[in-house]
A = this chain, B = another copy of it.
Amino acid sequence: MLKVNVKASESYDILIESGLLAKTGEIINSLVKSKRIAIVTDDIVDVLYGDVVVESLKCNGFDVCKYVFPNGEHSKCSDNLNNIYDFLCENSITRTDSIIALGGGVVGDITGYASATYLRGVDYIQIPTTLLAQVDSSVGGKTAIDIPAGKNLVGAFKQPKCVICDIDTLKTLKRETFSDGMAEVIKYGMIRQKELFDILASHNMDTIWEVIQDVVFRCVSIKRDVVQNDEFDKGERMILNFGHTLGHAVEGYHHYETYTHGSAVAIGMCLITEKALAYGIGSQSMLNNLIECIKNYELPTSVPVQLKDLIPFCLADKKRESNNINIILCEDIGKCMVKKMPITDFYSFMGIS
């Protein structure tokens, strides 16, 4: 079993291995205060993995209740959050009990947020079942819901007691969902580790399975390093946003319908790297390598939208600071920088006069 320890305001382990779901009860036994636990999951994940997790918990003496909501980003909303609160109340979950988030990013984000705010915070355990959730949303303590004005605009920092990444769950993902997660994996290579990027560049959607445990471990370790230096997202952590300002804009412009998060981030990474090149940062060969690697994982590298139409969505980015915007630029593969620029300069950086 691979283990990454995160030293945040509360220290916790991220465990990575095949077959971990069946060991859930045994793993969390020593980590939680009471034997009462609530599982929050979605209907697709529940059918696949609900039973094995419940079984493992019951075998270890846990008293389990379970809340299942419809799969999809539309469930990451205030209404569903209120339903989760009601469920926790109805089942008398108290401050010493715990919550398990079993599923992908949506489940992790909303369940983490519910755990951060219900009774002003109860312990929770992340069991991410998608690649995106394993390498990204389950690490770092960011939790959130969407509101009508935008994605993740409401949230909290809440570190889990433990993150359980069962690599086997990745095998049941739809091809495009796996691909979606690969965009973030490529991002980690770009911003922090040439070695990881080289592994990715030498594989593709069909061969990456051979090294997936190592890849997840590398991504989680990189995110851990970045997050540990900047738990509350005041500086270095911004580099994790590489490709995201434009990515979010692509998602937003299409009402979060046409492009998955990963596809949008893939496009965002290409776009920002292209603009950085015109600005004198990076190189043509780096851009070519990035585009080629993204194509290996069946992700898009451009979008049929005029840049000027994306700008309003960039300006609504959470990373904006009053009249400045922070953008992340790669100077070389594995090396990036945060560039703060006035909104006015951002227009010209994007080549819009």
Within 8 A of B (CB), among A153-195: 153-157
Q: How far is the CA of A116 from the CA of B157 in the complex (A)?
A: 10
Which B residues lie within 8 Å of A154 (CB)?
85, 117-119
Q: How far is the CA of A318 from the CA of B120 in the complex (A)?
A: 9
* Interface bits A126-169 vs B (CB < 8 Å: 1, else 0): 00000000000000001010011110011111000000000000
Contact B156 A117 (CB under 8 A): yes
The smallest C-beta distance from A34 to any residue of chain B, in angstroms, reads 5
Identify which of B34, B97, B120, B153 contacts A119 (C-beta below 8 A).
Answer: B153
How often does this chain occur in the complex, in copies? 2
> Given that A117-B155, A120-B157 are known contacts, is A85 also in contact with B147, CB under 8 Å in the complex?
yes
- Does A56 lie at the interface of the complex (its beta carbon under 8 Å from any beta carbon of B)? no
Contact B149 A233 (CB under 8 A): no
Nearest CB to that of A120 among chain B residues? B155
Which B residues lie within 8 Å of A233 (CB)?
120
Identify which of B36, B85, B94, B153 contacts A89 (C-beta below 8 A).
Answer: B153
Which B residues lie within 8 Å of A148 (CB)?
86
> Given that A120-B233, A157-B120 are known contacts, is A96 also in contact with B321, CB under 8 Å in the complex?
yes
Q: How far is the CA of A147 from the CA of B119 in the complex (A)?
A: 11
Which B residues lie within 8 Å of A320 (CB)?
94-95
Which B residues lie within 8 Å of A157 (CB)?
120-121
The smallest C-beta distance from A74 to any residue of chain B, in angstroms, reads 16
The smallest C-beta distance from A158 to any residue of chain B, in angstroms, reads 10
Q: Interface size of A by Cβ–Cβ distance < 8 Å?
A: 38
Q: How far is the CA of A13 from the CA of B168 in the complex (A)?
A: 52
Contact B153 A156 (CB under 8 A): no
Q: How far is the CA of A157 from the CA of B158 in the complex (A)?
A: 12
Identify which of B33, B34, B118, B318 contacts A153 (C-beta below 8 A).
Answer: B118
Contact A149 B117 (CB under 8 A): no
Q: How far is the CA of A116 from the CA of B142 in the complex (A)?
A: 13
Contact B89 A156 (CB under 8 A): no
> Given that A155-B120, A322-B97 are known contacts, is A86 also in contact with B144, CB under 8 Å in the complex?
no
> Given that A120-B144, A156-B116 are known contacts, is A90 also in contact with B149, CB under 8 Å in the complex?
yes
Within 8 A of B (CB), among A92-119: 92, 94-97, 116-119
Which B residues lie within 8 Å of A36 (CB)?
322
Residue among A90, A120, A121, A149 facing the most chain B CB atoms (10 A cut-off): A120
Identify which of B34, B82, B89 contacts A322 (C-beta below 8 A).
Answer: B34
- Does A296 lie at the interface of the complex (its beta carbon under 8 Å from any beta carbon of B)? no
Give the top 5 A-B pairs by smallest Cβ distance, nearest first. A89-B149, A120-B155, A96-B321, A34-B322, A96-B322
Residue numbers of A with Cβ under 8 A of B are: 33-34, 36, 78, 82, 85-86, 89-90, 92, 94-97, 116-121, 142, 144, 147-150, 153-157, 232-233, 316, 318, 320-322
Can you list 7 A-B contacts with CB-CB less than 8 angstroms, sorted by A residue number? Answer: A85-B154, A89-B147, A89-B149, A89-B153, A97-B322, A120-B155, A121-B157
